[in-house]
Chain A
Amino acid sequence: MSPLLTVTDLCVRAGDKTLVRDVGFALEAGQSLGIVGESGSGKTMTARAVLAALPAGVTASGEIVFDGIPMVGRRERDLRPLRGTRVSMVMQDPFTALNPLQTIGEHIRESLPRRVRRDRATARSEVARRLAEVGLDSAEVAGRYPFQLSGGMRQRVAIAAALAADPDLLIADEPTTALDASTQAEILRLLHKLQRDRGMALVLITHDLRVAFSVCDRVLVMYAGSVVEDAPSAALMEVPEHPYTLGLLMAEPPVTHVVETLTAIPGSVPRADDVATRCAFAARCDWHVPQCAASRPPLAPVGPGHLSACTRLDEIRPGLRQRRERAAAPATATPPPAGTPILTVSGLSMTYRTTSMVSRATAKQAVRDVSFEIAEGESLGLIGETGSGKTTIARCILGLQTATGGTIRLGDLDVSDHRRLSAKERRRAARLVQVVFQDPYSSLNPMLTIGAALEEAIAVGGTGQSAGELLEMIGLPASYAGRRPSALSGGQRQRVAIARALAVRPRLLICDEPVAALDVSVQAQILELLRQIRRAHGTSMLFITHDLSVVRQMTDRAIVLRHGEIVESGDTAQVLDNPRHPYTVSLVESVPGHQ
């Protein structure tokens, strides 16, 4: 049987810039393929090329054959009958992928084949059947609008719409990235089930190897526009045969145990054109030798169905194994320091009230009666999903919002209401607590140079450090002081944001999802940097995150927040290993790859 989809020598270019180079793979009917890579790896462009739905100005060359039909160079009008009916796509963001003015029922009906749509009764029962297939009750949701549904439900609707015409191939582009952890697990299980039950082929694009392993038969690892490894999931999970795949696997901090040092891949992803004639990964590879830069290594078979683009594989294989084993060994947990509390939050609550002249005023309680302490030098994890109130708590501590009830004390300073503080007390509060935000792209003023941004913070702290010293402390060359944020990568910007927070030598550092917006290989760098800072300065930390691996690696104690209330708290190891509250249990079970 010939494969359903064959891609050979696919190159994607935007003008004279190469985005994807020489990608090839084949997908049998009913099989699932994961394309894994960081941002800039070309995974999305590869998938879009398959649908022949590249953005304007981007062109594909090479050969893509779908069920005997060549897709490259085909006219738009000839492609239209294929899209949505034989090949279908699910997008990343369920919040914008649905038309806000159409009901859920209309969305599904629109995607049904014309013969089914013609008859009203058939269409209605068909819509109900499609919604039931993705686990939604038609009577309940068909008449609703997208904004009335949660993110997970919307993504189910998007999947149902994509499957309405019974395609032979479904392409899912990061279908769970925008969702909460527990919803993510449900959607992945659903995709996996649908793919098996329908015998449909699936291409899943993701940056998370664990997600790919949990759903796909084969995994293609892409780096800087080309494929570096192609193997069956099980084989790749057991024995990665390329240093980059190993790096990616190890960069994801384990959720099961604390490791001594988090292994990060140094540096960041290069552009495809900069590495056209050498091994793309050489500059970041621990095993590279001069010959790696001499030519581009081809994908070569290294095992049954297993291809790798590393020429030195036979020499470095023992090294790869050894690295893996060393990381698997758990470190002994250090007992949390019991010092005087630096932060005391008691009975904190936050109610948002709306006042309206035309409708009744409503009140929404975002945080209710939350109390906790952080001791000097301690690190506390605040675990919660979207809407759990964790960011609101952080903003109240920082004085960016004023809580409607309860008290917040920083050491002996009462900061419950920043508006009541004198200018002197406010400056003191700023020296006690600082913050690192989630999005490194908007947390630096685009018009200020890095140096100017740091000098400003140094002036507040009065520590007499120079911007150059701060930059070196967080692992950037001092010469970066003259650059603007736009000249820096996401990881570098996050380092600068950390440097700015540290400029005042705070006693407490609030980290609000500090790595959630970063690529996997960079996440570990930032986490390791924060660990070093804590070790060197004894800074207390409040880690706000939905990622349990981050909590495991970075915190001594953890609090689980749900709908603004604390449902569980205790030592990190105890909360993650023996969760007592059903909600915590569901969180722990939703980690990809959890048995």
Chain B
Amino acid sequence: MATIAATVSSTARGVARAPVMVRLAAAFLLLVAVLAVAGPWLAPYDPAAQDLMLNVSGPSGAHWLGTDQLGADVLSQVLAGTRAALIGPLVVALGTVVLGASLGILAGYRGGWIDALLNRLADLMYALPSLLVIIVLVGVVGGGYWFAVLVLTVLSLPSEIRLCRSATLAQARLPYIDAARTLGLPAGRIMARHLLPNIMPTVIATFLLDFVTALIGLSGLSYLGLGAPPGTPDWGTLLQSGQNLLADNPWISLAPGAMIALTATCFTLLGDWLYDRYSANGDHS
């Protein structure tokens, strides 16, 4: 863990010297993180409070992004919806990375039947059209938000396993792994202490990409009414509810849509930059 902590702290120092775009992306994501924690308190109105007198209204001094058909403040809903929009993707990305990296390292280091089995499973899952699978499964089971999160996690595992496996294969043939084996170290220790820190660039980059995929995937499901339950403020749900009101107040759809797109873009930018930075020569300290 010390290694990972060191990686993270040197990353923080590195961001200060990063290109402008990366710094902007990091700043925006910081803002999004603050909103995810404090969104409901920062919102100017109670997002659920209705003002039927107002009905649908465009942006005004009192309501910067206008109101929806029930007269609820759109800005407040977008701010309050941040948490719901981010928590699912975060769980998906964490689950995918923890499971995927473990299985990928295991497959890459051990080889043999474990590798063959995981590879064939991955092949099988690649053959399935994932969006269709999610829609059908979530629709049939009707399990709602957390079931969707689970299905998304399972579906993003194959590529995570593949990526971590090939990163592991590249490291496993280097002499320092042979030296560790010659010392008679247990396989678990070699994987955790020698392989994992050295494939960290891949792990961090894929974590961010998994997050982006899940963010878009879950928002899409919410839009189809298969994600967050109706009534909870969530970017995907908002996007959908504003669809019929585009002519009266386009901001109901535009604002959450922009948040999804910007968050996804910023994560991708940051992920690319982190990967380049750490895979260049593995160690910058």
Contact residue among A427, A437, A460, A504 (Cβ-Cβ distance under 8 Å from B175): A437
Q: How far is the CA of A486 from the CA of B182 in the complex (A)?
A: 23
- A497: interface (CB < 8 Å): yes
Query: Do the beta carbons of B184 and A437 come within 8 Å of each other?
Result: no
B residues less than 8 Å from A500 (CB atoms):
179, 183
Query: Do the beta carbons of A439 and B175 come within 8 Å of each other?
Result: yes
A447-B175 in contact given A399-B182, A430-B183 (Cβ < 8 Å) = no
- Count, chain A residues at interface, CB 8 A: 33
- B20: interface (CB < 8 Å): no
B residues less than 8 Å from A448 (CB atoms):
3, 193-194, 197
Query: Do the beta carbons of A435 and B182 come within 8 Å of each other?
Result: yes
- B141: interface (CB < 8 Å): no
Q: How far is the CA of A460 from the CA of B182 in the complex (A)?
A: 11
For chains A and B in complex, what number of residue pairs have CB atoms within 8 angstroms? 77
A497-B179 in contact given A445-B194, A447-B3 (Cβ < 8 Å) = yes
A residues less than 8 Å from B184 (CB atoms):
426-427, 429-431, 460
B residues less than 8 Å from A447 (CB atoms):
3, 197-198, 200, 282-283
B234 to chain A, nearest CB (A): 39
B284 to chain A, nearest CB (A): 8
Q: B-facing mask of A437-453, CB < 8 A → 1, else 0?
A: 11100111111100000
- A110: interface (CB < 8 Å): no
- B60: interface (CB < 8 Å): no
A413 to chain B, nearest CB (A): 13
Contact residue among B176, B197, B285 (Cβ-Cβ distance under 8 Å from A443): B176
Query: Do the beta carbons of B175 and A443 come within 8 Å of each other?
Result: yes
Q: How far is the CA of A50 from the CA of B200 in the complex (A)?
A: 43
B278 to chain A, nearest CB (A): 10
Query: Do the beta carbons of B183 and A437 come within 8 Å of each other?
Result: no
A283 to chain B, nearest CB (A): 27
User: Looking at chain B's contact residues, is the secondary structure mostly helix, strand, loop, or mixed?
Assistant: helix
Q: How far is the CA of A427 from the CA of B189 in the complex (A)?
A: 14
Q: How far is the CA of A255 from the CA of B182 in the complex (A)?
A: 32
A440 to chain B, nearest CB (A): 9
- In chain B, positions 190-210 with a C-beta closer than 8 Å to chain A are 193-194, 197-198, 200
- In chain A, positions 323-360 with a C-beta closer than 8 Å to chain B are none
- A484: interface (CB < 8 Å): yes
Query: Do the beta carbons of B183 and A456 come within 8 Å of each other?
Result: yes
Residue of B3, B180, B183, B193 with highest tally of chain A CB at under 10 A: B183
Q: A-facing mask of B168-190, CB < 8 A → 1, else 0?
A: 00000011101111111110000
B272 to chain A, nearest CB (A): 22
Offer 27 A-B interface pairs, CB within 8 angstroms, sorted by A: A395-B178, A399-B181, A400-B178, A400-B182, A429-B184, A430-B183, A430-B184, A433-B182, A434-B182, A435-B178, A437-B175, A437-B178, A437-B179, A438-B175, A442-B176, A445-B194, A445-B197, A446-B198, A447-B197, A447-B282, A448-B193, A456-B183, A460-B183, A484-B285, A486-B283, A486-B285, A500-B179
Give 3 nearest A-B pairs by CB, closest first. Answer: A430-B184, A447-B197, A443-B175
